[in-house]
Amino acid sequence: MVLTDELKRRAEKALDKPPRYGLDLEISKFTPDYTGLEAESLRDLSERLINIVKSIGLDTGEKSVLGSYLQVDQRVAYSRSHEEGVKVLSLKEALKSLDWLRGLYWKAVPVDLDKFTAVAALYEEGGYVVVAEKGVKTEMPVQTCLLMKSPRSLQTTHNIVVAEEGSTLHVITGCTQAPESFGLHTGISEFYVGKNATVTFTMIHSWSRGSHIRPRTGVIVEEGGRFISNYVVLKPANTIQAYPVVRLIGKESSALTTSILLASGSSKMDIGSCIRLEAPQTSGEAVSKVVGGDSSETVVRSRIVGFMDGVRGHTECNGILVSEKAVISAIPELVAKAKDVELTHEAAIGRISEEEVFYLQARGFTEEEAVSMIVRGFLESGIVGLPKAVEEYLKKAIRETITAL
């Protein structure tokens, strides 16, 4: 535990504070598991764990990544960097070895935002820190994996990603669990994008039906910096609620947040993002692609706030329903706090065009194959602005999920 007395006091005070959006939960039903599991190499994991982490694309040979981090329930199993200028550490290691990190600790996400940030702070055990040093530009990503293995597990993790001035960093995170596991995941993620730096963050969720997911994310972008986020849910949990907040505090900084959501079963998702244009010539875009299946219910929120003259923002939500019982709700919100701002939004939700299905059937595909092709193309069209390797990784994950439906 490295919380200061002040952070601890604020967290304890917020333990009963409900979330602003989404379903509330009784946290006491879940228990943190601290069973030890350490590996010298990802290949040292059991065959069963290797198969689970591979299912979300983890490269256990680490040939296509700069470094890796693996957390199982509450314990850090593996963390290593293979690239000079890029650090991959556990939170505990990083707070011991990087004095400056304490100045960023809990700066982008308020510890007392709600009961989920509070419990993440008070049970804080694992979490990764990834740092790209000044001027370091990388093409290959760092991979991280957060795995829940124990029944009724409470997994808390606190991650901090720092891109120093002029650097470029790509991080891919996979979140998943063992088939017999169900629990509550509360992950805190803080991003600090330095002057003229770029961070691309891709998170892929692949949960089971019994789990509840409550990540809390804050991003601070300095002058000329760029933050790109891809939030991908391919196998939804019972409930997911996420609402990252991106603050563009340096002039000419920008952000693009993309949510790609494949809702199925009786899942309930409330997912969105907020981009705050706080400096001159900043711009932000929030894009969502949603497929609603079975009896799922999905709420997509997007909020852009313009504080200065000359800023630009755009939100866009596109959804298709593939079931009579599925529900998709889009809630765009644009707030102008200066006269000369340009804020726009678009939204379109509907069913798959019968003409498109007939067109593919006329070329020899069954109706199921035609629907799968249309859904895959719809979701893949949301992937933009990524390095080639990350784009291929994401398209492969979507393709394999759609094929398995």
Q: Does residue 133 surpass a pLDDT of 60?
A: yes
Give the closest residue to 41 by CA, choosing from 7, 6, 10, 79: 79
Residue 126 DSSP code: B
Residue 404 CB partners (closer than 8 Å, separation 6+): none
- Segment 78-91 mean pLDDT: 96
- Segment 298-323 mean pLDDT: 95
Q: How many CB atoms lie within 10 A of CB 338?
A: 12
Lowest-pLDDT choice from 12-26, 142-156, 376-390: 376-390
Residue with tokens 């290797």: 50
Cα–Cα separations (whole angstroms), residue 234 to 123, 330, 338 = 28, 19, 39
- Assign 157 to helix, strand or coil: strand
- Segment 36-41 mean pLDDT: 76
- Segment 236-253 mean pLDDT: 94
Q: Helices (DSSP H) in 180-317: which residue ranges?
A: none
Q: Are 328 and 349 in contact (CB under 8 A)?
A: yes
Report d(CA 108, CA 113) in Å as an integer: 11
Lowest-pLDDT choice from 54-63, 82-91, 140-149: 54-63
What's the pLDDT score for residue 387? 64
Q: Does residue 243 surpass a pLDDT of 90?
A: yes
**H helix count then E strand count, the chain:** 7, 21
The phi and psi torsions of 69 (rounded to 5 degrees) equal: -140, 135
What's the pLDDT score for residue 341? 96
What's the pLDDT score for residue 70? 94
Dump pLDDT digits (tens) for 332-342.
Answer: 999 999 999 99
Confidence of residue 399 (pLDDT cuts 50, 70, 90): confident
Q: Does residue 405 surpass a pLDDT of 60?
A: no
Q: Does residue 226 surpass a pLDDT of 60?
A: yes
Q: Does residue 1 surpass a pLDDT of 70?
A: no
Give the closest residue to 248 by CA, choosing from 179, 183, 169, 312: 312
- Segment 289-313 mean pLDDT: 95
Confidence of residue 220 (pLDDT cuts 50, 70, 90): very high
Q: Does residue 371 surpass a pLDDT of 90?
A: no
Please give the radius of gyration of the chain, using alpha carbons only, rounded to the nearest integer. Answer: 20
Q: Does residue 386 surpass a pLDDT of 80?
A: no
What's the pLDDT score for residue 375? 84
Residue 185 CB partners (closer than 8 Å, separation 6+): 146, 148, 155, 157, 175, 207, 211, 212, 213, 214, 215
pTM of the model: 0.93
Cα–Cα–Cα angle for 219, 220, 224, rounded to 5 degrees: 125
- Segment 153-170 mean pLDDT: 96
What's the pLDDT score for residue 396? 76
- Segment 63-72 mean pLDDT: 93
